[in-house]
A and B are shown apart, each in its own frame.
Chain A
Amino acid sequence: MPPTLISPSENDYIIRGVDSNIRADGRGRLDYRQVILETGLITQASGSARCRLGEGTDVLVGVKVEFGAVELDGADEDVAEIKAKRGRVICNVECSPIASQQFAGRGADDFNNELTQMLDRVLNGPQSGLNLEKLCIIPGQHCWIVYIDAIVLDYAGNILDTIFMTTRAALYSTRIPKTIIQERGDGEIEFDILDDVEECERIEGWDKVPVAITLNKIGSRHIVDATPLEELTTEAKLLVTVNKDGKVCGLQKSGGGSIEPSLLIDMVQTGRSLGQSLIQSLDEMLQREENDINLKRAQKERKLGFFAAT
């Protein structure tokens, strides 16, 4: 269960450590814990991924692509026209009671809502990088709706970064069924969704999905990837979401402290450069995993009979 109280001496110990660039577990201020990422775990989902950060934080994301109606808004005519030709993304984050006793029952409601809104703010819109136009089946009528559901299985600090990393990997593994559109002639359009597992397309723009870097202000310095105790010492947190091209896709401050403007800009720059290198290493990990799978498929497996292996 993550600690909710911290003693003043522990607090002081962490602040001094951060100041000297040595944290409690030996890392530097800008070092991440080890990331273990795997995709394609859930057969019923269109895409899925699980990420484990160090020995703690564990997040599972399932992506389900479902057929639905286009968003018809009562807004400005031009905006409504754009929205009619797009697919949609609907996010949801849930902290499972497995992760901590304080998440049992309605305890996690506010926290879930906060995380969902943060995820939604980045993924709903052009800044998500996903090609939403490609998700439209019939303009003005039907489209693909991408449901992204994240479950937090274990909590050991730095939850948002993990959620974003896992979401990105899940979108990488997401396959959208192909649709064949036929025009019936009298203005009616018919479409068919192919059931074949092999006839699937990868979701376009997954590589442009941003990752999040949470910078924690401790004392006069900032650190990334905080452990629960370090999070309790944090005065203010800044969430920087950045994509592969180095564009900042979102900024959000949280916590009860304040940040000086020049330090704020400094943190944004740090977050941006860290984000880009994180994306690079994540992509390498995903590529390696795919290569391993392809290698296994290529090798002819020695087939044993049903009860041959005893």
Chain B
Amino acid sequence: MSGDRRRIQGPEVTVAPIIIKSTDREKIQLKDINGQRRDGRNLEDIRPIFLKTGLISQANGSAYIELRRTKIACGVYGPRQTKIPSFSGRGNLNCEIKFTPFSCLKRRQPYRDAQEKELSQLVYEALAPSIRLDLLPKSTIDIYISVLENDGMASCFAAAITCASVAVADAGIEMLDQVAACSASYIDGDIYMDSDLVEEQRESGSLILSYMPSLNEVTHILQSGKVEVSLTTQAIEQCTDACSKIYSVMNHSLLESVKNKIQ
């Protein structure tokens, strides 16, 4: 229709669109009558782990971990010479964790944001006690963790630590022990081990524990949310048990990679 384009030739009476709210949608039940979770697990069960080393040819050591819908790859470069000429008796450990833009529900910015910087610091704190940095003066170990798919922030972070630990071992760097990490959520007074994204959104608190099973030492603990001390204690015990199970998976994958290298 020609004429004055500034005049909108719309109808004289307008009505707001009708948005039908799904009121009859049932609230997602996290556990059924038998205490089984949505994917058939019990509250204290962790997701099955797929762990493989040696996928990145350029890196000194690498590992890939998969926990159903959480996928993380880790590459370790080192020990290599520290560029900055300052002398340090201990080796430097540099951890960087990065979420790929497509990994989370909401697209993440390609540049490193504050949360990733903090998580990188936490990964360092979790792994540093286990690596023999005192044997590597003037050297740097770089750990790069890339999260390809994120199904629950706490469990993703725990898996990243586990993956990084295996990658460091794959690189042949001397360690005191492997670090296994697992997470737990506090939902309605129950402890849900290794929770996924849907469960995480209902949580009133979460706990991430990194543990060295042979030495019986906790390398890192992070809890958020308001929790009773008794529940915290129980969760710490459950997490240490789960970490011991994860430990056997880590050892198995490292053994497999050694066998493949020999053949």
Binding site for B on A (CB under 8 A): 74-79, 110, 113-114, 116-117, 121-122, 125-127, 236, 238, 243, 246-261, 264-265, 268-269, 272
Contacts and interface: CB of A to CB of B under 8 A. Distances in A.
B224 A127 contact: yes
B84 to A, nearest CB: 15
Nearest to B133: A256
Contacts of B221: 238, 251-253, 259, 264
B222 interface: yes
Q: How large is the interface on B (under 10, 10 to 19, 20 to 34, 35 or more residues)?
A: 35 or more
A75 B118 CA distance: 23
Given A125-B224, A258-B219, A259-B218, 11 more contacts: A78-B27, A127-B205, A247-B228, A249-B225, A249-B227, A258-B215, A258-B218, A261-B216, A261-B218, A265-B233, A272-B229
A133 to B, nearest CB: 16
Contacts of B115: 117
Contact of B229 (A238, A253, A260, A268): A268
B223 A264 contact: no
A-B pairs with lowest CB-CB distance, top 10 = A251-B223, A258-B217, A127-B226, A258-B129, A117-B118, A256-B128, A258-B219, A253-B221, A247-B226, A259-B218
B125 A253 contact: yes
Contacts of B128: 256
B43 interface: no
A248 B240 CA distance: 20
Contact of A126 (B201, B207, B226): B226
Nearest to B211: A261
Contacts of A79: 201
Nearest to A187: B16
Contacts of B55: none
Nearest to A254: B125
A110 B219 CA distance: 21
Interface of A is mostly: mixed
B129 A252 contact: no
A213 to B, nearest CB: 13
B105 A122 contact: no
A131 B227 CA distance: 18
B204 A126 contact: yes
A78 B212 CA distance: 38
A75 B240 CA distance: 31
A260 B217 contact: yes
Interface SS, B side:
mixed
B106 interface: yes
B177 to A, nearest CB: 9
Contacts of A268: 229, 232-233
Given A76-B198, A269-B229, A264 B236 contact: yes
Contacts of B207: 251
A260 B218 contact: yes
Residue from B106, B201, B218, B228 having most chain A Cβ neighbours under 10 A: B218
A70 to B, nearest CB: 17
A176 B94 CA distance: 44
A75 B229 contact: no
Contact of A75 (B105, B114, B223): B105
Contact of B201 (A76, A243, A261): A76
Contacts of B227: 247-249
Contacts of B219: 253, 258
B226 A249 contact: yes
Nearest to A115: B118
A79 B225 CA distance: 16
Nearest to B227: A248
Given A251-B223, A251-B232, A269-B229, A116 B218 contact: no
A260 B222 contact: no
A78 B201 CA distance: 10
Given A127-B225, A258-B217, A260-B218, A265 B236 contact: yes
A112 to B, nearest CB: 10
- Residue among B211, B224, B233 having the largest count of chain A Cβ atoms under 10 Å: B224
B71 interface: no
A251 B224 CA distance: 7
Interface string B192-224: 000000100100110100011001111111111
Contacts of A249: 224-227
